[in-house]
Structure 1
Amino acid sequence: MTEYTVRDAFYDYCRRVGMTTIFGNPGSTELKMFTDWPDDFEYVLALQETVAVAAAAGHALGTGRAGLASLHSAGGVGHSLGAVFNAYRDRVPVVIIAGQQGRAMLPYRPFLGADEPAEFPRPYVKSSIQPARAEDVPAALAEAHRIAMTHPRGPVFLSVPEDDWDRPAEPVEVREVRTDFTASPEAVAELAEALNTARNPVLVVGSGVDDEQAMPEVVELAERTRSHVWIAPLSGRSGFDETHELFRGFLPPVREHIVGRLAEHDLIVVLGAQVFAYHVHGEGPFVPPGVRLFHLDCDPKQTAWTPTGTSLLTTVRPAVRALLGQIDDTAADRLRRPLPQPRVLPATPEPSEPMDVGLVLDSIRAALPEGTVIVEEVPSYRDAFHARVPVNQTGGFLTTGSGALGWGLPLAVGRALEAAQAGTGERIALVIGDGSMMYSVQALWTAAQHDVPLTILILNNSGYGAVKALGRRLGMPNPPGSDIPELDFAAVAGGLGVPGRRVGAPAELDKALEESLAHSGPFLLDITVASDNAPAYQPWAQ
C-alpha cells in the first residue's frame, strides 16, 4: 500500500475547499510539490511572481473562494511582495505556498534557502509560518486557509521545505468557520435611532460592501432613510449603484476636501471602509464640526485606530439587515430630507489629436456591453474615469485600494480566467495607464496562453501622469523620471502572444473598441491621450 504523504494531504484539502487552480512561477524548491501532479488541478504559469499572486487574487474575487499561489523561496517571495501588499490592503484571500530548501540543509545557509521565511512577508499577511515538523504542514495549510477566509479576509503565507512533501501525514478535516458577525443589538439600535432622527444623513460606502455582496441591502438602507451616498476615498471596489439618484460621487483622499463635501450632513455612516484614506497631508477636523459619525467594519485593528466617531465591529451585511428592521419609514418625509442634485455626466470633449481622455472614456462607456467587469489602474485619470464611467453591479469594478502599481493587469487576467472556467460569458475590460502597464507586462503571456476574455485599454500619455500632477501640487512642473516616451505596447503585446493595435485618432476609436471587445480572447488597444496639466487635489471650494 502506498504511504499517504504531506503532498497527498495538501492536494486533498485544496480539492475539498475548491483551490484547484494554482498560480505560480516554479523553482527548484517547489519541484517535489509537483510530483504526480493531479489531473483535476490546473497550473497557471506566470512569468513573474507579482503576476502569480495578483492573478490568484483576481481569480479569488471571481470565485468568492481563496486563491492559491505557489512561489519560489526567498527571492521569488520578494518579487511578489507588491502584490501581497495589495491583497492585504484590499482584503483578498490568497493562500501563498513558498518553497524552501530541505530541512537537513537549513543549518548551512544553502543556496536559495530563505532565512526566517515567516518574517519576510510580514506585516502584509494575516498569518505566516514554516511548520516545525513536516507532518504539521497539512494542519498549517488548513489553518492558513481558514484565516484567509475569515473577515477581514486577506493573504496568508506558508513556507514548506522541499523534503516535507514525501513525509507521511494524516488527512486534515475541512471544517466550517462562519465568518459573518454582527455588533450587539444595543449598538445597532443606537445607530438606527441616529438614522431615524438625523436631519440629513449620508452613507460612505467602501470595499467591504462589495466584498460581502451587500449592495442590495445598502441601496435599500439609502432609499428608506433618503441618505446621500459617497464612495470612500481610494476604494478598491464600488459597492453602490453609481446611476442611482442618491449617489453623489467619490470622496477625494484629502482631509479638508472630505470635510467640505460632507458639511451639509449631520450624520455620517461609514460602511466597510476606513475613516478615511488620505493621500496627502491635510489639517483641521476629520469630519465637519458637530457631525456624528458611525463606522461599521469587520477589522478590529481598523476600528481601534479610527480617529473619530463610534465604531461597530461587525461585518456589513448582517448589520445592515439588522438596521433595516429598525428603520422608521416616515422619517425621511417627516424630517424633509433633501434629495441630492442630479448627478450629470460631463460633456464630451471635441475630437482632437492627441485625444482628450474624456472623449476616450465616453467612447469606452458607450462601447462596453452590459455586465462587463471593469478593472482600473489608471491613477492619472481616475477622477475622470469615475466621473464618466458609472458602475451599477456588484463585482463590476476592481482596482487597487493601496496604490501599489502592477496589480491591475494580472488581477484582470486572473478574473478573466475565472470567467472562462465558469463559462459565465463575462468579458473583463482593463483600463490602465502606460506607466502601470509596465510593472507586470509579463501577464500578457499568461492571458494569451489561456485565451482569456480580456480587453486591455491603455490610456497612453507617455509618462507617469499622477506623479507629474503631484509634482505640480508641490510647485514642481516636471519631476525627474516622470517621462516614458516611445513605448510600443502593440508590439510588446504581439511578442507575448496578444493581438493589438495603436489608436491615435478619434475617427479610429469606436471601430477599434468594437473590435477589441468582440474578440474571443485577449486584445490590446494602445490609445494615445493628451496629458492633463492640472495639479493633483486642487483646493476645495464650497
Structure 2
Amino acid sequence: MMDGTTTPTTRTGMTVREAVFDLLRGLGMTTVFGNPGSTELPFLDRWPSDFRYVLGLQEASVMGMADGYARATGRCAFVNLHSAAGVGHALGNLFTSYRNGAPLVITAGQQTRALLPNLPFLGASDAAQFPKPYVKFSIEPARAADVPAAIAQAHRIAMQRPYGPCFVSIPSDDWAAPCQPVVPRAWFPDTAPDPAALAEAARLLSAARRPVLVVGSDVDAEGCGPALVALAERVGAPVWTSPFSSRLSFPEDHPLFAGHLHAAPQQVSETLIGHDLVLVIGAPVFTFHVAGECALFRSGIPIIQMTTDAEAASSAPAGMAVLGALRHGIPALAALLPGAARALPSPRPRPAPPAAAAPLSAAYALHRLHRAMPRDAVLVEEAPSHRPAMHAQMPIREWGGFFTMASGGLGYGLPAAVGVALGSPGRRVACLIGDGSFMYSPQALWTAVQERLPLAVIVMNNAGYGAMRSFSRVLQVRDAPGIDLPGIDFVSLARGMGCPARAVETPEALEAALAGAMSADGPYLVEVAVDGAIATLYDEKT
C-alpha cells in the first residue's frame, strides 16, 4: 500500500499545525478520535471543515472507538488524547490495541516546553516512556519543527506489519512554531516470504497424510480469507481457529471448519497430536491461558508457522517459521502444492435450536440474535462467559464480520462497536456484551447516539462477572468478593444518554426487541435477563 491518498499542499512559512493537517490530508486521516483538554486546544483551534472530530467522553472509549475504526477499515486511525492523565485513562485499551494489531497514530498534549523543567501542572514526566511497551514507536520530538515528521514516521511504523499503535507527545506551544511541510512518501511495507521457506513448507505438506490447519485473526486482517479457503481445500485438511482469535479466522459453516481451540495446553495437544503436520497461519503457536504440559511440542510432529510477526515466530516453542505477508505467502504456498486427493468432509452438525423458555437461557438468546441479524451485519463481542454459547449458536460466515479483543481486557467491546460502525457505513453492527463489560465504557453509547449509528447493543445480564464465577469453580475458590453486580438498570443508563432501550425476560419480548434493534434508525439497547437475572435485580430495587 502507499502512505498517501492525496497530495498535500506544499508551501514554505507554515506552522506545525498547518503542516500536520496537510500531512493528515495526504495520508487520508481526516477522522480524529479525541477527548479534548487544555493542552490540545492549540491543535483544535479553528477546526478545519474537511476534518471529522469524533468525541468520546473518556479516553478509554476514545481508544476503543479508534481501534474498531482502524480494524474495520484496514487504515490507520488518528487519536488525540489529553496529556498524562488522558493517556493513563487510555492505557487499558491501548494494551488491547497493541494485542489486536490495530494501526493507530496516538498524539497527546503536553505542557509548553518552557514549563517542562519545573514539573508543571498537567505536565507528563518522560511522556514517551509512559505508554511503553505497548506501542511500536514512541517519541516527544526534540524540536517543535520535528512534530510533522514524527507523525509521518509514526504512521509508517503503525502500518508496517504486524500493525500496531504508535505515540507522539506534542507540547502545546509546538503547534504555532514554524516548520517545513512533510510530504507522504510512497510506502510498500509488505514483504513476501522467503521462497526457500515456502518450498520447504510445501515439501512437508505434500508428504503429510493427516495435516491440520490452525488459523488466526491475521488472515482476516490482511484480507486474504478467500485465499486461505482455497489453500485449505487444496490441502484437504480440517481447520481449527486458534485460541483467542479476535476476528473471523475461517468461515464457520465451511465443511473443513473443525471448531475453536481452547487456550489450554492439554486440550490443544489432545486435539492436534493425532495429525502428522500442523500448519499455523496468522496466529501464535499457541496462546494459552492456563498452565500445563503441551505434549505436541515434544512429539516431533512438524509445526509450520506462517506469520508477519517476527516476535511471535521467535517465541514459538517448536516448529519452523515462514515469515512474511500472508497475502503473498498463502497463494504462493498453494501454487506449490499438488491438488488434494482427500474428499471434503460433511459440515459439522449444528446443535439443535434451544428451547424457548422463561427464564431465558443464554443459548436461546444468542440463537435468536443470530436469526435476527442481517447476513452482512458485523458482530462485536465482549461477553466472555457466553463465548461457548456464541460459538455454538452464532456461526460467523462473512469476512470482516466479527471482532473481539485479543488482550482479554474488558472495556473494549462497546467503544470498538462504535468505531466499527463508523468504519462500516451501510452495515448493521451488533455489540454482544456482558453486564460487567458494559460498565467499563458505558459512555461510548453517547457517541453512538450523537453519530446516529446503526448499532444494536445486546447486554447479557447475568448480574455479575460470569467468567469469574466459572474460574472460581475451576480453581475451587469459594466466597470470593467482587463478583456479583446487583442493582444496575441498563435501560435507564441507555435512555439517560438518549438511546432507546428495552429490558426483556420472555421469548416473545426478546423477539420483538431484537427486531426493533435491527431496524432502528440509530442505536438501540436490549437488556436480556439471563436465567432471571433482571427479575431478581428489579425485585431488589423495589
TM-score of Structure 1 vs Structure 2, range by shorter chain: over 0.9
1:466 aligns to 2:467 (yes or no) = yes
Q: How far apart, CA to CA, are the structure 1 residues paired with 2:326 and 2:13?
A: 46
Residue 403 of structure 1, aligned match among 404, 408, 422:
408
Alpha-carbon offset, residue 288 of structure 1: 7.1
Q: Secondary structure at the match of 1:294?
A: strand
> What residue number does 1:353 align with?
358
Q: Secondary structure at the match of 2:167?
A: strand
Residue 418 of structure 2, aligned match among 413, 416, 428:
413
Amino acid at match of 1:515: G
Residue 46 of structure 2, aligned match among 12, 36, 44:
36
Q: How far apart, CA to CA, are the structure 1 residues paired with 2:435 and 2:46?
A: 42
Alpha-carbon offset, residue 352 of structure 1: 2.8
Q: Deviations over 1:422-481 (max 9, x none)?
A: xxx201011110010000001011011111110001111001000110110011244211
What is the TM-score of this pair, normalised by structure 2? Answer: 0.94
1:9 aligns to 2:19 (yes or no) = yes
Alpha-carbon offset, residue 63 of structure 1: 2.1
Q: Secondary structure at the match of 1:118?
A: helix
- Checking the alignment, whether the CA contact within 8 Å between 1:258 and 1:287 is kept in structure 2 is no
Residues 164 and 229 of structure 1: CA distance in aligned 2, closer, same or farther (over 3 Å)? same
Q: How far apart, CA to CA, are the structure 2 residues paired with 1:26 and 1:85?
A: 21
> What residue number does 2:519 align with?
518
Q: How far apart, CA to CA, are the structure 2 residues paired with 1:286 and 1:91?
A: 27
> What residue number does 1:528 align with?
529
Q: How far apart, CA to CA, are the structure 2 residues paired with 1:113 and 1:123?
A: 21
Alpha-carbon offset, residue 37 of structure 1: 1.1
Q: Secondary structure at the match of 1:44?
A: strand
- Checking the alignment, whether the CA contact within 8 Å between 1:53 and 1:94 is kept in structure 2 is no
**Map of 1:354-433 to 2, 5 A cutoff?**
354-420=359-425, 425-433=426-434
Q: How far apart, CA to CA, are the structure 2 residues paired with 1:160 and 1:233?
A: 38
> What residue number does 2:33 align with?
23
Alpha-carbon offset, residue 62 of structure 1: 2.4
1:344 aligns to 2:358 (yes or no) = no
Q: How far apart, CA to CA, are the structure 2 residues paired with 1:194 and 1:216?
A: 23
> What residue number does 1:234 align with?
244
> What residue number does 1:499 align with?
500
> What residue number does 1:163 align with?
173
Q: How far apart, CA to CA, are the structure 2 residues paired with 1:127 and 1:163?
A: 23
Q: How far apart, CA to CA, are the structure 2 residues paired with 1:477 and 1:368?
A: 39
Q: How far apart, CA to CA, are the structure 2 residues paired with 1:506 and 1:73?
A: 48
- Checking the alignment, whether the CA contact within 8 Å between 2:354 and 2:367 is kept in structure 1 is no
- Checking the alignment, whether the CA contact within 8 Å between 1:54 and 1:83 is kept in structure 2 is yes
Q: Deviations over 1:300-320 (max 9, x none)?
A: 111111111111211211001
Alpha-carbon offset, residue 325 of structure 1: 1.2
Alpha-carbon offset, residue 35 of structure 1: 1.6
What is the TM-score of this pair, normalised by structure 1? Answer: 0.94
* Deviates further, 480-489 or 117-126: 480-489
Q: How far apart, CA to CA, are the structure 1 residues paired with 2:411 and 2:511?
A: 27
Q: Secondary structure at the match of 1:483?
A: coil
Amino acid at match of 1:58: G
Alpha-carbon offset, residue 210 of structure 1: 0.5
> What residue number does 2:105 align with?
95
Q: List, as ranges, runs of 4+ consecutive aligned residues in structure 1 with deviation greater than 4 Å.
A: 337-341
Q: Secondary structure at the match of 2:424?
A: helix
- Checking the alignment, whether the CA contact within 8 Å between 2:421 and 2:455 is kept in structure 1 is yes
CA RMSD of aligned residues (A): 1.5
Q: Deviations over 1:240-299 (max 9, x none)?
A: 111000001110000000011112211111111101111111124244723110011111
Amino acid at match of 1:24: G
Alpha-carbon offset, residue 346 of structure 1: 1.6
> What residue number does 1:190 align with?
200
Q: How far apart, CA to CA, are the structure 1 residues paired with 2:517 and 2:462?
A: 20
Count the aligned residue pairs. Answer: 523
Q: How far apart, CA to CA, are the structure 2 residues paired with 1:249 and 1:346?
A: 13
Structure 2: 5+ residue stretches without partners: 1-10, 534-542
- Checking the alignment, whether the CA contact within 8 Å between 1:468 and 1:477 is kept in structure 2 is no
Q: How far apart, CA to CA, are the structure 1 residues paired with 2:320 and 2:532?
A: 42
Residues 258 and 153 of structure 1: CA distance in aligned 2, closer, same or farther (over 3 Å)? same
Alpha-carbon offset, residue 18 of structure 1: 1.1
> What residue number does 1:540 align with?
none
Q: How far apart, CA to CA, are the structure 2 residues paired with 1:395 and 1:418?
A: 11
- Checking the alignment, whether the CA contact within 8 Å between 1:205 and 1:231 is kept in structure 2 is yes
